[in-house]
Amino acid sequence: MIDDLRADAKMIFNTNEGVRVLEDLQSRFCVHQTTFTQDSHETAFREGQRSAVLFILNLIKEGESSV
């Protein structure tokens, strides 16, 4: 199951369109910057968004050397 999901994600995000979408998600959901705010609930919400994008990034990067 996870191998199929990984293969599907790699197929989608290795297209020009997929790269653009993934770059936008990384920017929009603070992958490379802090998500901290004074409101702990807002910080938790932002971390949840960031976590979803990190999951995608890890999914498409795992096992790259064996592909």
9-56 residue pLDDT tens? 999 999 999 999 999 999 999 999 999 999 999 999 999 999 999 999
pLDDT for 67: 41
The whole-number average pLDDT for the span 55-67 is 79
Question: Which two tokens mark 22?
Answer: 């993934």
Predicted local distance difference test score (pLDDT) of residue 47: 98
Q: Is 30 helix (H, G, I), strand (E, B) or coil?
A: coil
pLDDT given for residue 63 in this prediction:
67
Maximum Cα interatomic distance, the chain, rounded to a whole number of Å: 43
- Answer for the pair 63, 4: CB distance below 8 angstroms, yes or no: no
Question: Considering only CA atoms, which of 64, 56, 65 is closest in space to residue 5?
Answer: 56
